[in-house]
């Protein structure tokens, strides 16, 4: 039971330190209300136009694809390290070793093919697409 007390104490300290810092900063901060504090800050420049502009969805799609394949890499490296030890020990078959990872990579490749087919990774249109009027992006 002593382990749980230590974990509880650590969790309590982990909560009290940030809450205490926020309370101290709330009590010590200067309170000078100004309307200029609510203005959008543009690196010292006067903001022009509205703040609600639309971004191209492809920026988000590329970021999402990057995260998916970055996580794939993070999962592949430990598997590759364990793979050699598993092959050398005759305790498991090759299909048991390669099967789950090949299924994992196959699912990711299907997702990449789907994203490619739907134009998630297409930044510009080719002259052929412009001539045919295909504006799918």
| Structure-model confidence comparison of residues 40 and 13, the more confident one | 13
Mean pLDDT score, 24-35: 84
Query: pLDDT grade, residue 21 (50/70/90)?
Result: very high
Distance CA 73, CA 67 (A): 10
Q: Phi and psi dihedrals of 45, rounded to 5?
A: -90, 155
Q: What percent of the chain has pLDDT over 90?
A: 20
- The encoded tokens of residue 123 equal 């930044």
Q: How many CA atoms lie within 13 A of 41 on its CB side?
A: 4
Residues 102-120: what's their mean pLDDT?
87
**Tell me: the pLDDT tens digits for 57-108?**
778 888 888 888 888 888 888 888 888 888 787 777 888 888 888 999 999 8
Q: How confident is the model at residue 18 (pLDDT cuts 50, 70, 90)?
A: very high
Residue 54, token pair as written in the block: 């639309």
pTM given for the model: 0.50
Pick the residue with more confidence: 78 or 18?
18
Q: H helices of 29-123, where?
A: 57-88, 94-117
Contact 86, 97 (CB under 8 A): yes
pLDDT band at 137, cuts 50/70/90? very low
Domain boundaries, the chain: 58-131
């Amino acid at each position: 039971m002593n382990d749980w007390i230590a974990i509880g104490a650590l969790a309590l300290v982990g909560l009290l330190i940030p809450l205490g810092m926020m309370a101290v900063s709330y009590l010590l901060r200067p309170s000078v209300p100004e309307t200029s504090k609510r203005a959008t800050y543009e690196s010292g420049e006067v903001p022009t136009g509205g703040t609600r502009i639309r971004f191209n969805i492809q920026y988000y799609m590329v970021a999402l694809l990057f995260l998916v394949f970055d996580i794939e890499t993070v999962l592949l490296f430990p598997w590759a390290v364990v793979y050699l030890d598993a092959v050398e020990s005759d305790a498991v078959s090759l299909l048991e070793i390669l099967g789950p990872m090949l299924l994992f990579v196959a699912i990711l490749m299907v997702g990449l093919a789907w994203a490619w087919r739907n134009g998630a990774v297409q930044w510009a249109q080719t002259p052929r697409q412009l001539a045919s009027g295909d504006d799918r992006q």
